[in-house]
Structure 1
Amino acid sequence: MIVTTGGRTDQQTIMHARSLSEKYNFPYINRSKQSICKLKERYQQDIITVSRKGIAIHPLTQEEPLTFHPNMAMVRAKRMLNGETDPFIETAGIAPGMSVLDCTMGLAADSIIASLATGREGRVTALEADPLLHLLAAEVLQAFTTPNQKINEAMDRIETINAEHHEFLESQTDDSYDIIYFDPMFSEIIDNANAIRNIHHQTRQSGLRPETITEARRVARRRVVLKDHWKSPKFMELGFIQLKRKTSLFHYGYIDVQD
Structure 2
Amino acid sequence: MIITTGGKTDEETVLYAYSLADKYNALYVDRSKRSIETLKRHYNQDVVVASRSGTIIHPLSQKEPIHFHPNMAMVRAKRILGGRSDPFIETAGLQSGMHVLDCTMGLASDSLIASLAVGDAGRVTALESNPLLHLAVSEGLKRFHTQHAEIRKAMTRIEALHTPHHEFLQMQKDNSFDIIYFDPMFTETVETSDAMQIIHAQTDKSDLSLDTITEARRVARERIVMKDHWQSSRFHDLGFFQERRPSSLFHYGYINIDLSK
TM-score of the two chains, using structure 1 as the length reference: 0.93
Aligned twin of 2:85:
85
Asked if the contact 2:176–2:220 (Cα under 8 Å) also holds between the matched residues in 1, the reply is yes
Residue 248 (structure 1) aligned with residue 260 (structure 2): no
How far the C-alpha of 1:206 sits from its partner, in A, is 3.2
CA distance 1:7–1:43, change in 2 (3 Å): same
Aligned twin of 1:105:
105
Asked if the contact 2:103–2:127 (Cα under 8 Å) also holds between the matched residues in 1, the reply is yes
CA distance 1:196–1:149, change in 2 (3 Å): closer
Aligned twin of 2:137:
137
CA distances 1:106-162 after superposition (whole Å, capped 9, x unpaired): 011100110110011111100000011011110011011322221111111111110
RMSD: 1.7
Aligned twin of 1:153:
153
Aligned twin of 1:127:
127
CA distance in 2, matches of 1:236, 1:199: 28
Asked if the contact 1:184–1:228 (Cα under 8 Å) also holds between the matched residues in 2, the reply is yes
TM-score of the two chains, using structure 2 as the length reference: 0.93
Asked if the contact 2:185–2:205 (Cα under 8 Å) also holds between the matched residues in 1, the reply is no
Asked if the contact 1:128–1:205 (Cα under 8 Å) also holds between the matched residues in 2, the reply is no
Provide the aligned length of Structure 1 versus Structure 2.
254
Asked if the contact 1:164–1:205 (Cα under 8 Å) also holds between the matched residues in 2, the reply is no
Residue 42 (structure 1) aligned with residue 48 (structure 2): no
CA distance 1:196–1:152, change in 2 (3 Å): closer
Letter in 2 for 1:148: H
CA distances 1:181-201 after superposition (whole Å, capped 9, x unpaired): 000138xxxxx9743333221
CA distance in 2, matches of 1:8, 1:193: 30
CA distance 1:156–1:53, change in 2 (3 Å): closer
How far the C-alpha of 1:51 sits from its partner, in A, is 3.3
SS at match of 1:15: helix
Aligned twin of 2:207:
207
CA distances 1:81-125 after superposition (whole Å, capped 9, x unpaired): 111011100000010111100000001110011011001111110
How far the C-alpha of 1:205 sits from its partner, in A, is 6.0
Asked if the contact 2:73–2:109 (Cα under 8 Å) also holds between the matched residues in 1, the reply is yes
How far the C-alpha of 1:71 sits from its partner, in A, is 2.1
Aligned twin of 1:197:
197
Aligned twin of 1:28:
28
Aligned twin of 1:189:
none
CA distance in 1, matches of 2:63, 2:149: 36
SS at match of 2:66: coil
Asked if the contact 2:99–2:177 (Cα under 8 Å) also holds between the matched residues in 1, the reply is yes
CA distance in 2, matches of 1:103, 1:35: 36
Asked if the contact 2:76–2:86 (Cα under 8 Å) also holds between the matched residues in 1, the reply is yes
CA distance 1:20–1:10, change in 2 (3 Å): same
CA distance in 1, matches of 2:56, 2:69: 11
CA distance 1:52–1:101, change in 2 (3 Å): closer
CA distance 1:124–1:7, change in 2 (3 Å): same
CA distance in 2, matches of 1:137, 1:56: 10
Aligned twin of 1:9:
9
Asked if the contact 2:54–2:139 (Cα under 8 Å) also holds between the matched residues in 1, the reply is no
